[in-house]
Amino acid sequence: MLKIGIIGGGPAGYALAIKMAQKGCSVVLFEKEKLGGTCLNKGCIPTKAILHSSNLIYKTKALSTFGIDINTDNFDFSKLIERKDTIVSKLNKSLGMLLNSYNIEIINEEVISFDKEQIITQNTKTACDIIILATGTVPAQIKGIEADNQFIYNSDGILTLEKLPKSILIIGSGAIGIEWSRIFADLGVEVTLIEAAERILPIADIDVSSRLERLLKKKRVKIEKATVVEKIECNEVKLSNGKALNPEKVLVAIGRTPILPNTELEFKTNKGFLDVDKNFMTNIPNIYAIGDINGISMLAHSATHQAIELAEYLTQNKQPHFTQKDIPSVIYGTPEAAWFGATEQMLIESNLQFKKVLFPISTIGKAHAEDEIDGFIKILTNEEKILGVSIVAPEASSILMQFLVAKENNLSYKSILNAVYPHPTFSEAAFEAILALDNESLSLPKIKE
Ligand code: NAI
């Protein structure tokens, strides 16, 4: 029986452990902290639990619009945090039980070294036929602005806040910076968001960036673009644009860096991330790397999909197709932003011919019923092929998926029109947006010739 040693129990490691056990392998999973990795313990799940609370506060502030008159000024931050901790610990326990049900051996210790044949912890030495590194990443730091969990925090430490500050400066407007800006702003904290690039969320389509900027400004978030922190002295933050700020707290959210257990093996790396081939194998035969650590894309769903493809490769010799896949991105909050594939700037820069539509969500009846009219569906196509889709709307993460399923199966964008969409829903905006690509929308006025 093939013996697999997996280092790291996050979405990459635990998904692979389950898959390999399902295929009849003997699996040992090493985790130094809690099962579930960054996603469950310090990322997706706890932040979405907090975001759900702050979102409810945002919604209740607007209740009078819906004819409901309730005083919503009071909320208990400690209960919100307690709820987040309960959710995480419940999911931790279920994950342990899930892995136990597959007879996966879990060694809850730090790996102190490993080579091609064995993995060593303080109390164990395990011989393995194949080793998989799924050790993830930790928050990146800015030199001289390291987290002290007193004044300066990173995305791990911010989850341990016991009291809301009056003001916060958030450095970096990626997914973490934007989601925490939304959380703090809805909880009544004064937020300043600074971004080194010319626009916020620079990896997204330009229309997503500008709409999110507008939405954040509506929440009174102050935004400083093309700006970095020059220095912090006695809790005064000096910005490169000459301004000086005195926030109560600072959150650094400028990306993540990889972590690798101690080893004498010489791995080939790229900016610290492990180089892998199309089968996720590192330069050392028999050692594979999946999830954040290989730097392909630092998202939980990407890690899980890599695990599935690697398991099928190792047990059935099925060739992975991961590098050809579009990985969806989502920014949570109200409204969500979600996208995959090409952005308009990418297509312009590569001189590719494309057709585009930016369909406003405000044409949809459900958007008015729920007072959520700020958003759009943007579709970029070439001939009948979908090149990329970006959405800002309630349920954007779900609406996006029909386009992605069509693209991954090489279907024409028109194939989406074969389905009857229920009314009233946000999803019917997808149908209408496709019609609008060919100027055939039933919701938009005739274009003047
Ligand atoms: P990120 O790499 O997505 O964004 C960091 C931002 O900080 C960039 O826009 C960059 O231009 C800016 N920046 C870098 N250095 C700066 C500086 N010195 N001053 C000002 N701005 C600076 O990183 P983030 O947001 O920390 O997220 C880390 C990882 O976690 C990402 O891969 C992200 O996709 C993932 N994540 C995903 C979530 C989701 O899917 N909703 C939620 C949270 C994290």
- Give which of 75, 37, 36 is closest to 55, Cα–Cα: 75
Which atom of ligand 1 has the smallest separation from the CA of 331? 41
CA of 109 to the centre of ligand 1 (A): 30
Strand 167-171 vs strand 190-194: parallel, antiparallel, or unpaired? parallel
Tokens of 435: 């019609």
Tell me how many helices (H) and strands (E) the chain has: 11, 25
The 8-class DSSP code of residue 421 comes to P
> CB of 295 within 8 A of CB of 271?
yes
| Closest ligand 1 atom number to CA of residue 201 | 9
Q: Where in the sequence numbering do the catalytic residues fall? A: 423
pLDDT in tens, 204-246: 999 999 999 999 999 999 999 999 999 999 999 999 999 999 9
Tracing tokens 């004064």 back to the chain, one arrives at 190
Mutate to test the pocket of ligand 1, among 254, 293, 336, 397 (most ligand atoms within 8 A of CB): 254
Give pLDDT, residue 140: 97
* C-alpha span between 233 and 284 (Å, rounded): 46
In order of their start, the domains of the chain are: 3-137+257-324 (3.50.50.60), 152-254 (3.50.50.60), 335-437 (3.30.390.30)
Q: What are the C-alpha distances in Å from 29 to residues 271, 314, 317, 348?
A: 27, 17, 22, 46
State the distance from the centre of ligand 1 to the C-alpha of 141, rounded, in angstroms: 12
Quote the ligand 1 centre to 220 CA distance (angstroms): 21
Q: Give pLDDT, residue 447.
A: 80
154 Cα–ligand 1 center, Å: 11
For ligand 1, atom 36, which residue shows the shortest CA distance? 175
- Residue-wise burial string across 160-190, b where 16 or more C-beta atoms lie within 10 A, e elsewhere: ebeeebeebbbbbbbbbbbbbbbbbbbbebb
pLDDT at 323: 84
Ligand 1 binding residues, C-beta < 6 A: 43, 142, 171-177, 179, 194-197, 202, 228, 253-256, 298-299, 330-332
Q: Which uninterrupted H or E stretch holds 247?
A: none
Residue with CA closest to ligand 1 atom 37 = 175
> In this structure, how many other beta carbons lie within 10 angstroms of the beta carbon of residue 89?
12
Which atom of ligand 1 sits closest to the CA of residue 200?
9
- DSSP-H helix ranges across 317-423: 344-349, 365-369, 396-408
Task: Report the amino acid identity of residue 247.
Answer: P
Query: Which ligand 1 atom is nearest residue 297's CA?
Result: 32
* DSSP code, position 424: S
**311 Cα: distance to centroid of ligand 1 (angstroms):** 29
Helix 77-101 with 44-61: angle, nearest 10 deg: 140
| Ligand 1: centre distance to CA 401 (Å) | 23
Rg of the chain (C-alpha set):
23
Which tokens belong to 311? 């398991």
Nearest atom in ligand 1 to 292's CA: 32
Q: What is the pLDDT of residue 376?
A: 98
Q: Per the structure block, which two tokens stand in for 172?
A: 């970096």
pLDDT of residue 346: 97
| pLDDT for the residue 7 | 98
In the prediction, which pLDDT does 430 show? 98
Confidence (pLDDT) at 71:
73
Nearest-CA residue for ligand 1 atom 12 is: 172
**What residue spans of 23-140 are helical by DSSP H?**
37-41, 44-61, 77-101
Taking phi over 0 as left and psi of -120 to 50 as alpha, with beta for the rest, 397 belongs to: alpha
Q: Give, using CA atoms, the residue closest to atom 29 of ligand 1.
A: 255
Under a CB-based contact definition with an 8 Å cutoff, are residues 260 and 294 in contact? no
pLDDT tens string 90-125:
999 999 999 999 999 999 999 999 999 999 999 999
Kindly list the averaged pLDDT for each block of 10 residues, start to end, along the chain of length 449: 96 98 97 97 97 93 88 85 97 98 98 96 98 98 95 97 97 98 97 98 98 98 98 95 98 96 95 97 97 96 98 96 92 98 97 97 97 97 97 98 97 97 97 96 87
Token pair belonging to 276: 């892998």
Name residue, tokens 């295929």: 23
